[in-house]
Amino acid sequence: MKISVAIICFNEEKKIERCLQSVSWADEIVILDSHSTDQTVAICKKFTDKVLVHDFDGHIQQKNRVLEHCENDWVFSIDADEVVTDELKAEILALKKELELTDISGFFVNRRIKYLGKWIKHSNWYPDYKLRLFRKSKAKWGGVNPHDQIILDGKDSRLSSELEHYSYDSVSDHLRTVDNFTSIISKEYYKKGKRPSIINLTLRPIYGFTKSYLIKRGFLEGKRGLIIAIIDSYYVFLKFVKLYEIQLESKKEK
């Protein structure tokens, strides 16, 4: 069985080459770029001739769009800031011999995130299983932008090796992502008819912190675990504050 690798990207010149080197074993690499203004496209073309460009209209939309251009039924989806480890590569290549006969439609892969120079093993960030290897004919991207997830029609299983995730270059980068993602998800919530409540603005952020720092033992990560729990809590608070802001703006227009 052959495997296609699918990637969406935008201005990822600092990370995309490391990602592409880690999936050079694939039978096909398909990339969908969103009009990058840096060297992302040039770097991608060193690894594949299937570099497509389309206006960005949502993470879910882009990821479904790139799937349409994958020639093989089995697809491994990876983000530009992720890296396939040698162990995961070996596991996938060994699995290729069995893919044609298996009744499994998709495989989850655990991600480990590097944050402030250290691999995080606790908090809301670990373990972090994502369905990344799947039959295209049995899967589609869903969820709520920007938090996409595969909706699978069939059985799933887990791979034992991990995917590396280099998500944030700094705390400032982390906060910029929080600001960007909460803006996206608050708009999506509003479109779906969701409205903020006092519970959303108070208890849910508190629970977010408690879950990350205490229940999932983020405290074992020291200062990093505390930072992660606080920013996770802030993320929850901010998305509902922005939803409230959208609600107020909508009332003004009426």
Q: Which of 78, 73, 68 is nearest to 47 (CA)?
A: 78
Give the pLDDT mean for 39-56: 98
Look up residue 148 and give its two tokens.
Answer: 């996409």
Q: What is the pLDDT of residue 190?
A: 97
Q: Which two tokens stand for residue 105?
A: 């439609």
Condensed to tens digits (0 to 9), the pLDDT of residues 176-215 reads 999 999 999 999 999 999 999 999 999 999 999 999 999 9
- The domains of the chain, with CATH numbers, are 3-165 (3.90.550.10), 171-253 (no CATH)
- Band (pLDDT 50/70/90 cuts) for residue 254 is low
Would you state the pLDDT for residue 145?
Answer: 97
pLDDT-based confidence at residue 224 (cuts at 50, 70, 90): very high
Residues shown for the chain: 254
Taking the C-alpha atoms of residue 168 and residue 173, their distance in angstroms, rounded to an integer, is 6
Q: How far is CA 196 from CA 148, 184, 190, in A?
A: 22, 15, 9
What is the mean predicted confidence (pLDDT) over 36-45? 98
